[in-house]
Structure 1
Amino acid sequence: MARTTIDYGTMMHDAMRGLIRRVLDQVAADGLPGDHHFFISFDTNHPGVQIAQWLHDRYPEDMTIVLQHWYDNLDVRDDGFSVTLNFGDSPEPLVVPWEAMKTFVDPSVEFGFRFEQRDDDGPDDPGGMHDDEEAPFAEIEETPRQDAEVVSLDRFRK
């Protein structure tokens, strides 16, 4: 059965995941350039997420990690990425599938993207969109760097 609409939301999310993958590929190869650093939030219950049980107990729904000063073993794959982060002098490996990502933010250049969560995908509901819903909106900002400021992740959440 042919779709009656073009699923722009899914296409946009796939494109953004590809962009984030390219960015993380560069960082894995060359390290973080300049003041760049990333806040990445993800669904800790998503299939394929691998985190220590004590981290899941502490973050039972979602978790935000920071790639900045100390990270190791960044490995970018087709299905997601893995990285080892330091939690209070305890290195912990994490595996995050692309589909588990909720937000990606690089506050050094005021760039951020929020992935809309879709729970109702079905044959009559392509991309989880209902007739009365608006299309997913990408919150993308890119402006020249200014003096230091605190960037709240809340500005990129619903």
Structure 2
Amino acid sequence: MSDDTKGPDGFDPTPPSSLLPYDTWLEEAHREVMLKALEHISVHGLPGEHHFYMTFLTRFPGVVIPAALKERYPEEMTIVLQHQFQNLTVDRSARSFSVGLSFGGVPSTLHIPFAAITAFADPHIHLVLRFTPHYEEEAPPAEVHNFRPTPHEQKPDHAAKDDTPTPAAEGAEVVSLAAFRKKPAAQHSDDTDDSDR
């Protein structure tokens, strides 16, 4: 008698519901991978062709971004840490990170709680991690302020992009992730605007 109910891996293709919170544990592990990556580049900068796409909810409690960006992106925004970012700080006790970016030539610091992040990707190696926002993890309020980096603080920069290319001199842009969302595993950095590289 053959067992035709098994999948190619020998397991039932429709497993029973788990009584262990594997999904929660996996998401926590993926968030830890993201945090270690951010902490690493805050100290060492971005190696080689690595760069990060980060999507977050702009209305999430504790998110502090310039008013113009919140007006333009009232729900969700994606930034790219690549060429021109400053003062990247990961604060585990506050469960948030901050980074200095320039939008339209205006330097600002963005403050983003970890729980507001919905996606993290490193297109160089086709890594995509997705997260469910946790609204109970509210972060303390922070302020957006201008920064003036000293010459020794120059690091590989960030860019946030949008559908309209922005000259590299303007610094950060905001990115539309329509293509990124359709095929996350196949996304390659060639799909981004090269004008900021």
* TM-score w.r.t. length of structure 1: 0.72
Corresponding letter in the other structure for 1:60: P
Q: 1:40 aligns with which of 54, 57, 77?
A: 54
Query: In structure 2, which of residues 116, 119, 123 is the aligned counterpart of residue 100 of structure 1?
Result: 116
What is the percentage of aligned positions where both structures have the same residue? 39
**Candidates 68, 76, 81, aligned match of 1:67:** 81
TM-superposed CA distance for 1:31, in Å, is 0.3
C-alpha separation between the residues in 2 aligned to 1:43 and 1:34?
Answer: 29
Kindly indicate whether residue 179 of structure 2 is the aligned counterpart of residue 152 of structure 1: yes
Extract structure 1 runs of 4+ deviating beyond 4 A: none
C-alpha separation in 1, matches of 2:68 and 2:53: 21
Task: Give 1:85-124 correspondences, 5 Å limit.
Answer: 85-117=101-133
Matches of 1:10 and 1:91 in 2, distance apart?
36
Q: 1 CA distance for matches of 2:116 and 2:134? A: 11
TM-score, normalization by structure 2: 0.58
Pick aligned residue for 1:84 from 100, 105, 110: 100
Instruction: Give a deviation string over 1:65-104, Cα, whole Å, max 9, x none.
Output: 0100000010011102100111121111101111111110
In 1, the alpha carbon distance for the partners of 2:114 and 2:25 equals: 14
Task: For residues 86-126 of structure 1, give each alpha carbon's deviation from its aligned partner in whole angstroms, at most 9, with x where no partner exists.
Answer: 1121111101111111110111111111114578xxxxxxx
Structure 2 runs not aligned, ≥5 long: 1-17, 136-177, 185-197
2-structure distance, mates of 1:80, 1:16: 16
Q: Distance in 1 between matches of 2:103 and 2:134?
A: 31
Cα distance between partner residues in 1 of 2:121 and 2:179 = 10
Q: Which of structures 1 and 2 has the bigger CA Rg?
A: 2
| AA partner of residue 180 (structure 2) | L
- Between the aligned partners of 1:18 and 1:52, the Cα distance in structure 2 is 27
Q: Which amino acid aligns with 2:130?
A: R
Aligned residue type for 1:63: M
**CA shift in 2, pair 1:100/1:118, >3 Å:** closer
Do structure 1's residue 31 and structure 2's residue 45 form an aligned pair?
A: yes
Match for 2:114: what amino acid? W
What runs of 5+ residues in structure 1 fail to find an aligned partner?
120-150
